[in-house]
Amino acid sequence: MGTLKVVVLYDRWEEPEDAAAASTDKAPLTRTLDKKEVEDEVAETLGKLGHDATLHVLDGSVKSLNAIAKTECDLFVNLVESFGGNDTADYCIAAYLELLNKRYTGSGSRGLLYCQDKAVAKKILEFHGIHTPVFASSYRGRLDFSHNLEFPVIVKPAREDGSIGIEFNAVVSSIRELMERIDWLHANFDSPVLIEEYVEGREMYVGVIGNENPEALPVIELDLSKLPEGTPRIAGAEVKWGKGTRAYRDTKSAVAEGLPDDVVATLQQTAVGVYQALELRDYGRIDMRLRPDGRVAVIEANPNPWLASKAEFAMAARKSGRNYTQLIEEIVDLALGRYA
């Protein structure tokens, strides 16, 4: 392929100072504070591939949106996860690119929308016979949907990611803790709340790449066994963002070891099934839990997962024999193939 003009699209948003000061909790309410510079890494790699790559930041301003409309390029690499601090806007950006007839990498607005709301995604998975923990969802005190639930449950915002709003006390075992947690979420997030069966088990991530014949990558495990005594084994905000804490330091992702072949096959088939059911494109990562009885429970699907070379997706790609440059090249080719 010849030289392409590629624009790497990413988002940055500084929380206004008064809002930051008003937040009393240590865990961030939006997750822009600590982002690694994945966009630089991707742009650099596109350069190595002989493309002409530039960066474009969406900073929450209309000006930054207008500039996209005026940009002529062969492809946007879409790394956008939010707009103006709004984590639910990812699908709007994709839809905007679609309206403008721009070519871009990753999932389309529909796939992003399905995964955006975990309750919606779980309902679709259930239709496809894919096992996901039973749940209830409630918005501002109104019950939207409910299975029969038993404690312990995990309480989380239905429309966030990066473990925003999921701290260790998200796992509750009593009515009182449950009510307190729902109250806290309603006070801090304008999002329905998901109350979900807490699934005991190993935490497994399976990357999927491709469109016609999506390929599941080797299984990655996040080892949560070394979390401090008394804390639930979850990849909460402390684990993902709590730099300097034990929870952060003692949890590491690595290629899963010692899994029987049939378990690997189940995890991989489940991941591909989820990827297709939720209309993911080009690349995605499915988060699952492996129950002690061997059953696989799907926790969530991540379209356009974090593409840093040190992140789980690239780690799995490497294990499958793709170095980082090859991975980026493949994603570009998959996207362009759609518009051929």
Judged by DSSP in three states, 219 sits in coil
198: contact with ligand ADP by CB under 6 A: yes
How far is residue 286's CA from residue 278's CA, in Å, rounded to a whole number?
11
* 196 lines the binding site for ligand ADP (CB under 6 A): yes
User: What is d(CA 53, CA 59) in angstroms, rounded to the nearest whole number?
Assistant: 19
Helices (H) and strands (E) in the chain, counts: 12, 14
Alpha-carbon gap, residue 313 to 307, rounded angstroms: 7
The interface region with Mg ion, picked from 270-278, 299-307, 310-318, 329-337 by CB under 5 A, is 299-307
Instruction: Read off the DSSP letter of residue 272.
Output: H
The helix/strand/coil state of 283 is strand
Residue 199 within binding range of ligand ADP, rule CB under 6 A: yes
162 binds ligand ADP (CB under 6 A): yes
Task: Please tell me the number of Cα atoms within 13 Å of 113 on its side-chain side.
Answer: 8
| Smallest distance, Mg ion to C-beta of residue 196, A | 12
Please answer whether residues 154 and 166 qualify as being in contact, where contact means their C-beta atoms are separated by less than 8 angstroms.
Answer: yes
Stretch that binds ligand ADP, among 35-43, 72-80, 143-151, 158-166 (CB under 6 A): 158-166
Q: In this complex, which beta carbon is closest to ligand ADP, that of residue 75 or of residue 195?
A: 195
Q: Smallest gap, in angstroms, from Cβ of residue 84 to ligand ADP? A: 19
116 sits near ligand ADP (criterion: CB under 6 A): no
Sheet holding 75-78, edge to edge: 52-58, 5-11, 75-78
Listed ranges 4-12, 16-24, 109-117, 152-160: which one lies at the site for ligand ADP (CB under 6 A):
152-160
CB closer to Mg ion, 11 vs 287: 287
CB 102 to ligand ADP: min, Å: 27
**x-marked contacts with ligand ADP along 297-316 as a string, rule CB under 6 A:** --xx----------------
Q: Which of residues 270-289 bind ligand ADP (CB under 6 A)?
A: 287, 289
166 binds, among ligand ADP, Mg ion, none (CB under 5 to 8 A by kind): ligand ADP
Distance of CA 91 to CAs 195, 232, 255, Å?
24, 32, 30
CB of residue 20 to Mg ion, shortest distance in Å: 24
Q: Minimum Å distance from CB 166 to Mg ion? A: 9
Distance, in Å, from the CA atom of 153 to the CA atom of 179, rounded to the nearest integer, reads: 12
Non-local (6+) Cβ contacts of 169 within 8 A are: 177, 181
Closest distance to Mg ion from the beta carbon of 134 (Å): 18
Pick the binder of ligand ADP from 209, 234, 274, 334 (CB under 6 A): 234
Work out whether 154 is an interface residue with ligand ADP (CB under 6 A). Answer: yes
181 interface partner picked from ligand ADP, Mg ion, none, CB below 5 to 8 A per type: none
Q: Is residue 287 within the footprint of Mg ion (CB under 5 A)?
A: yes
Binding residues among 300-319 for Mg ion as defined by CB under 5 A: 300
CB closer to ligand ADP, 145 vs 339: 145
Q: Do you know the residue count of the chain? A: 340
> For the purposes of burial, counting CB atoms within 10 Å of the CB of 194, is it exposed (0-12), middle (13-18) or buried (19 or more)?
buried
Q: Which does 234 bind (CB under 5 to 8 A by kind): Mg ion, ligand ADP, none?
A: ligand ADP
Respond yes or no on whether the N-terminal peptide bond of residue 152 is cis (omega within 30° of 0).
yes
Burial class of residue 62 (count of CB atoms within 10 Å of its CB; 0-12, 13-18, 19+): exposed
Q: By the criterion CB under 5 A, which residues form the site for Mg ion? A: 287, 300
Interacting residues toward ligand ADP by CB under 6 A:
133, 154, 156, 160-164, 166, 196-199, 203, 234-236, 287, 289, 299-300
